[in-house]
Amino acid sequence: MEQATRGGRRRSRTVLALVTAAALGVAGCDAVGGDSPAPSGTQAKQHRPSPKPTPLWDTSPDSVAAVGDSITRGFDACSVLSDCPEVSWATGDSEKVDSLAVRLLGRTRAAERSWNHAVSGSRMADLPGQMARAAEHSPELVAVMTGANDACRDTTAAMTPVADFRADFREAMRTLREALPTAQVYVASVPDLKRLWAQGRTSTLGKQVWKLGICPSMLGDADAMDAAATQRRETVQNRVEDYNEVLKEVCAEDRHCRFDGGAVYAYRFGTEQLSHWDWFHPSVDGQARLAEIAYRTVTAKK
Q: Residue 132: which CATH number?
A: 3.40.50.1110
Task: Note whether 231 and 238 are within 8 A (CB).
Answer: no
Our count of domains for the chain comes to 2
Give the model's pLDDT for residue 233.
98
pLDDT tens by residue, the chain, 302 residues: 444 444 444 444 443 343 343 333 433 333 333 343 444 444 444 455 555 555 689 999 999 999 999 999 999 999 988 999 999 999 999 999 999 999 999 999 999 999 999 999 999 999 999 999 999 999 999 999 999 999 999 999 999 999 999 999 999 999 999 999 999 999 999 999 999 999 999 989 889 989 988 999 999 999 999 999 999 999 999 999 999 999 999 999 999 999 999 999 999 999 999 999 999 999 999 999 999 999 999 999 97
pLDDT at position 50 is 53
**How high is the pLDDT of residue 41?**
46
Helices (H), 31-74: 41-47
Do 102 and 21 fall within a single domain? no
Angle at 162 between CA 267 and CA 213, to 5 degrees: 65
21, 90: one domain: no
Question: Chain centroid to CA 258: how far?
Answer: 3
Q: Tell whether 105 is covered by a domain.
A: yes
What is the pLDDT at residue 206? 85
Same domain, 145 and 30: no
Cα(40)–Cα(43) distance, integer angstroms: 6
pLDDT for 91 equals 98
Asked if 113 and 29 sit in the same domain, the reply is no
- Do 10 and 135 belong together in one domain? no
Q: What are phi and psi of 253, to 5 degrees?
A: -75, -10
Pairwise CA distance, residues 21 & 24, whole Å: 5
Residue 108 and residue 227 share a domain: yes
| pLDDT at residue number 193 | 97
In-domain check, residue 132: yes
Asked whether residue 148 falls in the same domain as residue 179, the answer is: yes
Within this chain, do residues 32 and 80 fall inside the same structural domain, yes or no?
no
Q: Check whether residue 88 and residue 230 sit in a common domain.
A: yes
Residue 54 lies in a domain: no
Same domain, 234 and 141: yes
The C-alpha angle with vertex 113 and arms to 252 and 66, in degrees rounded to 5, equals 40
Does residue 240 fall inside a structural domain?
yes
With respect to residue 235, please indicate whether it lies within any of the assigned structural domains.
Answer: yes
Residue 55 lies in a domain: no
Provide the residue range defining the domain that includes 142.
Answer: 64-299
In this structure, the answer to whether residues 73 and 206 fall within a common structural domain is yes
Q: Does 57 map to a domain?
A: no
**What phi and psi, each to the nearest 5 degrees, are found at residue 225?**
-125, 15
Residue 52, domain member (yes or no): no
Q: What pTM, to 2 d.p., does this model score?
A: 0.82
Same domain, 42 and 120: no
